[in-house]
Chain A
Amino acid sequence: AQSVTQLGSHVSVSEGALVLLRCNYSSSVPPYLFWYVQYPNQGLQLLLKYTTGATLVKGINGFEAEFKKSETSFHLTKPSAHMSDAAEYFCAVGGNNRLAFGKGNQVVVIP
């Protein structure tokens, strides 16, 4: 079975500071990895995904993530937080006909 661990349900970050959300996965096969964002009262939106190839993946809104097989990690970063980044972020591992999601990180941006 595939699974994802996201620690720290609530993350507070100052405007302009680094955003770092951690994701560790478990998968018995080479994983497909995703980060989704959920803004209030909206559906899940894909930020970025890793399938094969380059391990540093760039996504929308200035986010990027690096696949590290040796650490079974796919951490999400953004160099400088904006107020508009306040949302819930979910890491997911794909395969076997489904996505397995972590519990999510609620990001609060402090002005």
Chain B
Amino acid sequence: GAGVSQTPSNKVTEKGKYVELRCDPISGHTALYWYRQSLGQGPEFLIYFQGTGAADDSGLPNDRFFAVRPEGSVSTLKIQRTERGDSAVYLCASSLTGTGGDEQFFGPGTRLTVL
């Protein structure tokens, strides 16, 4: 069956530009997560959706970052006025219910490079 997919796989942009990263979760999974992985580090939590609503956005680093999931399936992570420090791999994951012991299934990630 289809896993979590993310597009684009790579994105190169210039400082100050706006970018959108897309995530297609596993069908039927109500929970969706975004993480950011910098070089040499483990993934760091950004935001958690339960259905259409952002249940926990405490990991977003500042107000340049925003994410939506309007129909409870596909999600888009939006970054305004990109900075070089935003360069990282952005990972999306989904799980069936969002409870603590649920396995989170990860996509391959989008590698964002800000020049």
Residues on A lying within 8 angstroms of B by beta carbon are: 4, 6, 9, 32, 34, 36, 41-46, 49, 51-52, 90, 92, 94-104
Sample 29 A-B pairs with CB under 8 A, ordered by A number: A42-B108, A43-B91, A43-B107, A43-B108, A44-B43, A44-B93, A45-B106, A46-B103, A46-B104, A49-B101, A52-B101, A90-B43, A92-B42, A94-B100, A94-B101, A94-B102, A95-B100, A97-B48, A97-B56, A98-B48, A98-B56, A99-B35, A99-B45, A101-B42, A101-B44, A103-B40, A103-B41, A103-B42, A104-B41
Closest Cβ–Cβ distance, residue B20 to chain A (whole Å) = 20
B-chain residues with CB within 8 Å of residue A44 when the two chains form the complex: 43, 91, 93, 106
* Number of residues of chain B lying within 8 A (CB) of chain A: 27
Give the secondary structure class of B's interface. loop
Q: Contact flags (1/0) for B33-51 with A, using CB distance below 8 Å?
A: 1010000111111001000
Q: How far is the CA of A95 from the CA of B111 in the complex (A)?
A: 27
Q: Which residues of A contact B107 (CB under 8 A)?
A: 43
Residue in B55, B101, B105 whose beta carbon sits within 8 Å of that of A32 in the complex = B101
Known contacts: A98-B33, A98-B59. The answer to whether A32 contacts B100 by CB under 8 A is: yes
- Chain B residue numbers with a CB within 8 Å of A45 are 106
Chain A residue at minimum C-beta to C-beta distance from B108: A43
- Is the CB–CB distance between A98 and B45 below 8 Å? yes
Contact B108 A99 (CB under 8 A): no
